[in-house]
Structure 1
């Protein structure tokens, strides 16, 4: 039985240190440091069925591999690690592709925490909601959209740690009322802070940018809200959904 090739992809010098460490511990592995052209190189290894270990942000992995994903029965295992090697996330093909077991093996080798989202989670994520709306939007439009968002993301309201928006919405009556009604903190962020997560938005609205200075309020504020709680990077788990008067997005971050 042949041993699957493992590509360890690092994008920073700190990540390279961990990559070289893994290379010495993982059979039939090789290190790819800042491969060029990045997208083409990574996608080609993926299409060849090679297992991939990324030492990078999860968002980079998702955006790079999205065009070549097939299904959980054909895609190879993909793991994501942080630069410090504290966490190991089986991102793709957890069960059928063996990513869960592979991640557990890697976590054991480097004494890291396994973050397994397909089954029992060892580290529970923090979830936050981002909100946008027309001025003086009726609370019913926002509340119904939150209910829909939670359903779409398969989450319970009890899992949401904060609701968030842009600072010009700090006095939005619907948002303040929902914070009280749901007993969830309401935070707002200024434009420079929201701009720090611009590259993670699922879609960028020029109209919103011209109006308030950021390309998306709901997604940006959800991402910033999650990072504010954990102090770590965040990612979208539900891209913004909307009705005629409001938008809602959900993000998460790991402590």
Structure 2
């Protein structure tokens, strides 16, 4: 869910324009909140349930309101701030890990305004890689649904992704091969020794997975490894491992010069 929160009539006009633009750009659910009752409690509730938030107001109001519920950059949802005239968009929280920088870029393109990114590496070109693991013979549709959910959480589209990756024992996994083919993306796999190099960057480690395939996490390791291979720079997790009953998915990012 995307929530656009505004406090003035001028801000409401911009909020409606942005809402229509996001929906036209295939955003699934966009809600405009004009002068919400119990402002702090309402906004904090949105934040804690993981909604992406776009504020049309002063940054100070946003920070004072969200300060009590901010956890860390790996858990908090993306938060953007716009001025009332719509001239600038600022990714305020979770710029890298929560996808706020990329989300702000999309908003900036829709409104044709100035993107203001203050986090490191904003002058470099980001490269995004999807890592996936799954049970044997997992259907393509199950994989597609999980990937759709993860891209939405990260604020990305299929066009942003450079490859879909996994461990080498999945090189013949029909569902993964079919998914990559249908999206016109390369499907790449790597052995456990290569993926083991990413161990220190994993968000979680599974002893069961390690005993089974030799790495502590397939999806995160594969995404991190390939992103680093593309740029020859260090990689990081943009979206930690998400899973359903049959598959896992993670998204990594690196920066190219």
Give aligned pairs, total: 151
- What is the alpha-carbon distance in structure 2 between the residues aligned to residue 175 and residue 232 of structure 1? 27
Is the CA contact 1:163–1:225 (under 8 Å) kept in the aligned structure 2? no
- What is the alpha-carbon distance in structure 1 between the residues aligned to residue 177 and residue 121 of structure 2? 35
Other structure's SS at 2:162 match? strand
| Alignment correspondent of 2:211 | 210
| Alignment correspondent of 1:219 | 220
| Alignment correspondent of 1:235 | 236
Cα deviations across residues 169-219 of structure 1 (Å, max 9, x unaligned)?
A: 000001111111000111101001000010111100011001000000000
Residues 202 and 91 of structure 1: CA distance in aligned 2, closer, same or farther (over 3 Å): farther
Structure 2 matches for 1:143-162, cutoff 5 A? 143-162=144-163
Residues 120 and 219 of structure 1: CA distance in aligned 2, closer, same or farther (over 3 Å): closer
Alignment of 1:179 with 2:180, yes or no, is: yes
| Alignment correspondent of 1:3 | none
Is the CA contact 1:145–1:248 (under 8 Å) kept in the aligned structure 2? yes
TM-score by length of 2: 0.54
Other structure's SS at 2:131 match? strand
Is the CA contact 2:121–2:255 (under 8 Å) kept in the aligned structure 1? no
| Alignment correspondent of 2:135 | 134
User: Offset at 1:66?
Assistant: 5.1
Is the CA contact 1:116–1:122 (under 8 Å) kept in the aligned structure 2? no
Structure 2 matches for 1:1-255, cutoff 5 A? 116=117, 121-255=122-256
Structure 1 portions without partners, runs of 5+ = 1-64, 71-89, 95-114
Other structure's SS at 1:125 match? strand
Cα deviations across residues 201-248 of structure 1 (Å, max 9, x unaligned)?
A: 110001100100000000000001111111111000100100000000
- What is the alpha-carbon distance in structure 2 between the residues aligned to residue 228 and residue 91 of structure 1? 30
Cα deviations across residues 96-134 of structure 1 (Å, max 9, x unaligned)?
A: xxxxxxxxxxxxxxxxxxx94669942220000000000
- What is the alpha-carbon distance in structure 2 between the residues aligned to residue 120 and residue 138 of structure 1? 38
Structure 2 portions without partners, runs of 5+ = 1-70, 77-90, 96-115
TM-score by length of 1: 0.54
Aligned-pair RMSD on alpha carbons? 3.0
Residues 120 and 249 of structure 1: CA distance in aligned 2, closer, same or farther (over 3 Å): closer
Is the CA contact 1:129–1:249 (under 8 Å) kept in the aligned structure 2? yes
- What is the alpha-carbon distance in structure 1 between the residues aligned to residue 232 and residue 137 of structure 2? 32
Is the CA contact 1:138–1:174 (under 8 Å) kept in the aligned structure 2? yes
Cα deviations across residues 67-113 of structure 1 (Å, max 9, x unaligned)?
A: 9x99xxxxxxxxxxxxxxxxxxx99898xxxxxxxxxxxxxxxxxxx
